[in-house]
Amino acid sequence: MEEVARALRDHVKTFFVAHPEEGKRLRSLLPSQRIFILHGFLPNQIDDIVRYNLVPVLNSYAQVKQWQNFCKVHGCRHPVALQFDSGMSRFGLSEEDLDREALSSCQPVLVMSHLACADHPNDASNEWQRQNFIRMAQRFPGVPRSLAASSGIFLGSKYHFDLVRPGAALYGIAPNEETPHSLKPVVELDARILQIRHLTKGASVGYGLTWEAKHAARIATVGIGYADGFLRSAGNKAALWWRDKRLPVVGRVSMDSLSVDISTIPEAALTDDMSLSVIGPHQDVDALARASGTIGYEILTSLGSRFSRIYCDNE
């Protein structure tokens, strides 16, 4: 959070985080930008919302009532946003909620919703949700509107309204597999080889011995596992890379390590401090996600705290 905030603070006026604790951390870096809290608040967090000048996104009628009661007791006015459930059945106020008394006096600084199928550009629910959102937003004339997150931005300008919320797009995650885009990946990840073993035909690898050598093979044990965010589901499916050589993951992924077949790497090229590419020029986040049976979002958010992180500016 801190490094991303420093990179963006001279270019972005509005930030979104999930929880108040994240907003408190972010406020120390961004004294003047607006910071919205997507999950709103729990009752014991309202004081911090006000103290750190955070903007809660009110997602339910109960939150609206709690907020109004707090403001009445303390005699304060503080900006809030309202989220509508335009069809995803997740966060947000329903149209029935908007008819209730407490909403008639609410003066939000932003109304917003979220698209369920934005990563599928031709899905009819995108337009259906957009129309629902417009109808609900008309209850608050003149209030800025926000509907599109990363994938929604690529649906076109009619989904943009007054504010868009790029998240994964900041890191080069593709909006979908159909729309041409100019996003560039910003994350690379390497992992060290810890040990090399020479296997004979018929030898097996890893927990459950799920991979068997069909011929003599050179196998590297690499210091990355599911505790670091390399998903266990990627065992016997994904690959690491050395230069332009694809090195298949063999056997199950362990907590702190995995095994790859490095038979195609020349013996003379092996060194004691050798690393292999997990995410890089030949395999971006989305490609690793496909091999793991998931999406790029899960890969990025699963990357653990044990990595040495190097941030490169202006590249």
CA atoms of 107 and 296, how far apart (whole Å): 37
8 A C-beta contact, residue 140 and residue 93? no
Give the Cβ contact number of residue 52 at 10 Å: 16
Give the Cα separation of 179 and 86 in Å (integer).
24
Q: Is the separation of the CB atoms in 287 and 278 below 8 Å?
A: no
Q: Which residues are annotated as a binding site for substrate?
A: 90, 255
CA gap 208, 225 in Å, rounded: 16
Q: Which residues contact 71 (CB under 8 A, 6 or more apart)?
A: 77, 78
Task: Indicate which residues carry an active-site annotation.
Answer: 207
Burial of 226 (0-12, 13-18, 19+ CB in 10 A): buried
Annotated binding site: 90, 255
* CA–CA gap between residue 3 and residue 95 (Å, rounded): 39
106-133 burial code (b ≥16 CB/10 A, e <16): bebebbbbbbbbbbbbeeebbeebbebb
Sequence length of the chain is: 315
3-state secondary structure of 194: strand
Q: Can you give the C-alpha Rg of the chain in angstroms?
A: 24
